[in-house]
Structure 1
Amino acid sequence: MSIRPWVIVEAPDKRGLRKVVVGSKRVGSAWSLRQLRDMLGDLGYPEDMDMEDPASVCWRGGGSGTWPDRAGRRRTAAALMMAGLLASMALNVVIGWPDAIGALTFAQRISGALFVLSGVVQGAAAITVVDYWGKRQSRNSGAIVLLGVLVALATDSLLLFMWFDEREYTPYLLVFMPAWCWSVWALWLLVRERSWRGMRRPKTFAAGVLATSLLTAVSLAYSTMYQPAAAPMRFILKAEFGTSRADHIRPFLQVPLTLYMKNAGGIPVYIINDDYTVYGRSSEYIDGDDRLEEWRRSLDENRAEDAERYVDRLEFTKISSERLYRPGDWLDVGQEFSLKRVVQIPVNTEFDTINVVLQITYMRKDRGKLDVDQFRRPHRSWDKAEGRYYCPPERCGEELYYHGRVRHNNNLVNVTRKPRYVTAVWSPSERPVYSISSFHFEGQVARSEEERDVGRYGASTAYADSEMSVAELLKSSGIGSG
């Protein structure tokens, strides 16, 4: 037998783990005497080996009864660390996956992919927790766990920062608020233990973490905070009257009306409301010098703002009001749509001119995704079968309501805000209105455009109008000739 002991058990480290060396080769570490016996048994030592025999075992820094491991505390810390990393991983994947696979723009897809990647990093860190709070067989396990916690702190801080902008309740708040508190605790614990110690190139690791953080911050700031204007919206709208014809049976003029729209911008759009209305204008002839006074009186009486020297008391009568496009349908880039209608007016009309006003309200598809199946269905305000959409005609008139959920194309906005809905109201007797807000249609819709979140979703309205004199219509039909 050699004079040198076969087994050397080193002094416990600060966690209570004792390194075991057989001859000159390290064979592992043990938290307890039982683990030591199991380890030596695997190496062929007898189960009843006398641990107190100095010829067999050399104890350094304490004898066979010195095992200062706090197993309960260590396992609790490991469990909390792993649970936090897994929860943060799930949150990041839930946020990033819809954008990574379905966002319209490249920047939004990159943002989603970064969140999915951060979830993968946290998943790897959660697996490494077992080694770091165990026997630390890998030098880099502490650094990997630290990286996962830093990623969790960064993403949770971003979510919290965005939530503070509006401070609206969302179920995700119950996840990322505790997750942020956990990440602060986890970072404090890892820094206190200097978890990066033991890795071969700590400076390279730190530089990589810094570069990744900057890249992620720039990408998220670009896709979340910055709303690019590189592809502005441009609509081409036309509303034109054609050559009129006299009805051979009834005393009416048939006036052709051509309506046209084209998405000439660089982004597809949803049409959320539209309307074209034909008016007949009538007026009284006056011969006076002071038209300013008449103009003021017209404003006071809530009539037209036109100021003409020989025209007073302008009145506009609605002849017809219809829809051009189905709400919820979209126009792709370059897509155009036209519609032809015939407007009928009496031959002996008192109108001086007829006017048409066309308006289209749209929402950019790169800013939001509309639930078109829900939004396309019109709800009649006068029908009691519509349930929550019903409003007595004496109070609301007769209106069509369109209502549907809209989700921002950056899922970070969706999880830090209350749900948003698009509501469009159309009536032949009133101008069309719309809103994009958290309003979820409980009760009457105010015709005044209430709380609106149109800027975030790129909603806007385009207009076109046209006017033609009745005298010209009569002449073109042959009635006014001669």
Structure 2
Amino acid sequence: MEIRPWVIVEAPDRRGLRRVVVGGETVGSVWSLHQLRKLLDRLGCPADMDLEDPACVYWRGGDSGTWPDRARRRHATVVLMTAGMLASAILNTVIGWPDALGALTFAQRMSGALILLSGAVQAVAVIAVLNHWGRRQHRSSGAVVLLGVLIALATDGLLLFMWFEEKEYTPYLLVFVPLWCWSLWALWVLVRERAWQGIPRPKTFAAGVVVTALLSAVSLAYSTMYQPAAAPMHFVLKAEFGASRADGRKPLVHVPVKLYVKNAGGIPVYIINSDYTVYGRSAEYSEGEDLMEEWRRSLDKNLYEDAERYVGRLRFTAISSGRFYRPGDSLDVGQEHVMERVFQVPVGVEFDTVNVFLQITYMRKDRGKLDVTQFRRMHRSWDEREGMYYCRPEKCGEELYYHGRVRHNNNLVNVTRKPRYVTAIWSPREKPFYSISSYHFKGVIDRSKERRDIDRYGASTAYADTEVSVAELLGAAGG
């Protein structure tokens, strides 16, 4: 006589899953009568086995028709959980990858690595979702899913908080706002199901997860809002006149000038604009008129701020002008740059002094990364082939434009803001100009946001100037 195994089908749990015991050992769990037959077939039971025969199968907590599984609801939950967790893992990877590999400072690299690690945990949680809403072969799968959801809630909440600071449209807004809503829903589902059950000391685990999530959020917020200004910027700029020489064929004096810059601070920088201009100063001399009156008249022309008796009606004429440093090039810590130029002064010139004015505009490399390939490309405002850079000469004159994308060294800022661009304008007739803003040669510049962006990226200008009398130049040249 054949001895049949004693099969026990336990009562359904909260999800409708019924455990199957054969010969005193648990062999699996099933959602339906069809799955039960497939399980018994794999165990070698006869295909025509009568599941209603008490001698074959013993049913607990309901008969063969008790299958309370809500398959559609369960499948929908699995799909939503998997999609949200996977999207959050991809978002964290996209945000953290550039910082972890390319940020200049250690703190920014750690911030990127932390976000990458969070994305890796969420990738594992994607697999845990399938197990937790499946047969739960691993008891800790619910806790892993809970950890992934808390990471998503903390990260997306931080992104949303940062977005509210500027309220600018960015395509990432269409990602992290829905993910933040998804994380709230997912957390509600997991808390309702007490997902932390099944692991040792669930309260300790839950408290540790919450503390970890809070510390991660605080760390990310700190690394985002902190501006690394501890290392001050310091440049050595010099402009020096050399020994002048008379031209043997023409009534000219050749005057050499030496321009020098050194990054004496602790942070490398991008040079986004530079200029040197040689001015000749002429004045109308008086017999000692009121000092303050002469000073006021000088200030009216916005050219001369010194108070000097006997000197009035100052006029400054540009003799020579040029760029001192290539836009977009770096000036690393301790690096020096020297340029020597020669300009000409006519022997009978009306100038009484000659001034050289040197300036560089820089951006700290620990605050942002400039697309130097794009920025170094020179655009001529008067050339119609330049497209969006073209500007009618009667409106803009003749200017050179340098324009390129800049990204913050913390990618959390980049995904919550519009793209930012560095714009530099140089002309021999006007003062050098620069801007860091969302302006992309369309619309107008928001000056209040521009000021914040300039501070955020640590952009500023350093100056140097020197002066020599024309009498000294002509005397040295034998004029």
Equivalence for 1:271: 271
Equivalence for 1:308: 308
Equivalence for 2:471: 471
The 5 Å alignment of 1:411-430 reads 411-430=411-430
Paired with 2:207 and 2:231, the residues of 1 have a C-alpha distance of 36
Deviation, structure 1 residue 211: 4.5
Paired with 1:10 and 1:345, the residues of 2 have a C-alpha distance of 105
Instruction: Answer with 295-304 or 21-30: which moved more.
Output: 295-304
SS of the equivalent of 2:450 reads: coil
SS of the equivalent of 1:463 reads: strand
Deviation, structure 1 residue 333: 1.4
Instruction: Answer with 22-31 or 94-103: which moved more.
Output: 22-31
SS of the equivalent of 1:124 reads: helix
Equivalence for 1:451: 450
Deviation, structure 1 residue 135: 1.4
Paired with 1:188 and 1:342, the residues of 2 have a C-alpha distance of 75
- 1:319-351 per-residue CA deviation (whole Å, 9 max, x = no partner) reads 111111111111111111001111211122211
Paired with 2:114 and 2:233, the residues of 1 have a C-alpha distance of 29
Tell me if the contact between 1:3 and 1:55 (Cα under 8 Å) persists in the aligned partners.
Answer: no
- 1:180-207 per-residue CA deviation (whole Å, 9 max, x = no partner) reads 1111110111111111111123244234
Paired with 2:376 and 2:226, the residues of 1 have a C-alpha distance of 31
Instruction: Answer with 282-291 or 48-57: which moved more.
Output: 282-291
SS of the equivalent of 1:451 reads: helix
- 1:453-477 per-residue CA deviation (whole Å, 9 max, x = no partner) reads 2111111110000011112222222
Deviation, structure 1 residue 286: 1.2
Equivalence for 1:332: 332
Equivalence for 1:227: 227
SS of the equivalent of 2:431 reads: strand
Deviation, structure 1 residue 428: 0.3
- 1:27-54 per-residue CA deviation (whole Å, 9 max, x = no partner) reads 2211111111111222222121111211
- 1:105-160 per-residue CA deviation (whole Å, 9 max, x = no partner) reads 11111111111111111111111111111111211111111111111111111111
The 5 Å alignment of 1:225-374 reads 225-374=225-374
Tell me if the contact between 1:282 and 1:315 (Cα under 8 Å) persists in the aligned partners.
Answer: yes
Tell me if the contact between 1:272 and 1:328 (Cα under 8 Å) persists in the aligned partners.
Answer: yes
Paired with 2:305 and 2:136, the residues of 1 have a C-alpha distance of 82
Paired with 2:39 and 2:448, the residues of 1 have a C-alpha distance of 76
Paired with 1:82 and 1:182, the residues of 2 have a C-alpha distance of 11
Tell me if the contact between 2:150 and 2:210 (Cα under 8 Å) persists in the aligned partners.
Answer: no
- 1:151-170 per-residue CA deviation (whole Å, 9 max, x = no partner) reads 11111111111111111111
Letter in structure 2 aligned against 1:8: I
Deviation, structure 1 residue 213: 2.5
Letter in structure 1 aligned against 2:450: E
The 5 Å alignment of 1:206-221 reads 206-221=206-221
Paired with 2:159 and 2:37, the residues of 1 have a C-alpha distance of 50
Number of residue-to-residue matches in the alignment: 477
Tell me if the contact between 1:435 and 1:449 (Cα under 8 Å) persists in the aligned partners.
Answer: no
Letter in structure 2 aligned against 1:399: E
Paired with 1:449 and 1:346, the residues of 2 have a C-alpha distance of 46
SS of the equivalent of 1:182 reads: helix
Tell me if the contact between 1:110 and 1:219 (Cα under 8 Å) persists in the aligned partners.
Answer: no
Paired with 2:149 and 2:2, the residues of 1 have a C-alpha distance of 49
SS of the equivalent of 1:313 reads: strand
Against the structure 1 CA distance between its residues 234 and 303, is the aligned structure 2 distance closer, same or farther, given a 3 Å change threshold? Answer: closer
Percent identity of the aligned residues? 74
Against the structure 1 CA distance between its residues 186 and 449, is the aligned structure 2 distance closer, same or farther, given a 3 Å change threshold? Answer: closer
Tell me if the contact between 1:5 and 1:58 (Cα under 8 Å) persists in the aligned partners.
Answer: no
- 1:199-250 per-residue CA deviation (whole Å, 9 max, x = no partner) reads 1232442344245324423432332110122222211111111222222221
* Runs ≥4 residues deviating over 6 A: 1-5
Deviation, structure 1 residue 3: 12
Paired with 1:203 and 1:193, the residues of 2 have a C-alpha distance of 15
Deviation, structure 1 residue 4: 11
Deviation, structure 1 residue 75: 0.6
Paired with 2:184 and 2:124, the residues of 1 have a C-alpha distance of 19
Equivalence for 2:178: 178
Instruction: Answer with 142-151 or 370-379: which moved more.
Output: 370-379
The unaligned stretches of length 5 or more in structure 1 are none
SS of the equivalent of 2:424 reads: strand
Deviation, structure 1 residue 290: 2.1
Equivalence for 2:150: 150
Letter in structure 1 aligned against 2:352: D
Against the structure 1 CA distance between its residues 320 and 301, is the aligned structure 2 distance closer, same or farther, given a 3 Å change threshold? Answer: closer
Deviation, structure 1 residue 354: 0.6
Tell me if the contact between 1:8 and 1:59 (Cα under 8 Å) persists in the aligned partners.
Answer: yes
The 5 Å alignment of 1:43-122 reads 43-122=43-122
Tell me if the contact between 2:270 and 2:364 (Cα under 8 Å) persists in the aligned partners.
Answer: yes
Letter in structure 1 aligned against 2:365: K
Tell me if the contact between 2:263 and 2:334 (Cα under 8 Å) persists in the aligned partners.
Answer: yes
SS of the equivalent of 1:154 reads: helix
SS of the equivalent of 1:134 reads: coil
Paired with 2:394 and 2:429, the residues of 1 have a C-alpha distance of 14
Tell me if the contact between 2:294 and 2:311 (Cα under 8 Å) persists in the aligned partners.
Answer: no
- RMSD between aligned residues: 2.1
Tell me if the contact between 2:107 and 2:223 (Cα under 8 Å) persists in the aligned partners.
Answer: yes
Paired with 2:292 and 2:411, the residues of 1 have a C-alpha distance of 55
Against the structure 1 CA distance between its residues 450 and 431, is the aligned structure 2 distance closer, same or farther, given a 3 Å change threshold? Answer: farther
Paired with 1:171 and 1:98, the residues of 2 have a C-alpha distance of 18
Deviation, structure 1 residue 5: 7.8
Equivalence for 2:192: 192
Equivalence for 2:41: 41
SS of the equivalent of 2:45 reads: coil
Paired with 1:23 and 1:383, the residues of 2 have a C-alpha distance of 89
Instruction: Answer with 24-33 or 318-327: which moved more.
Output: 24-33
Letter in structure 2 aligned against 1:167: K
SS of the equivalent of 1:139 reads: coil
Paired with 2:449 and 2:99, the residues of 1 have a C-alpha distance of 30
Tell me if the contact between 2:196 and 2:206 (Cα under 8 Å) persists in the aligned partners.
Answer: no
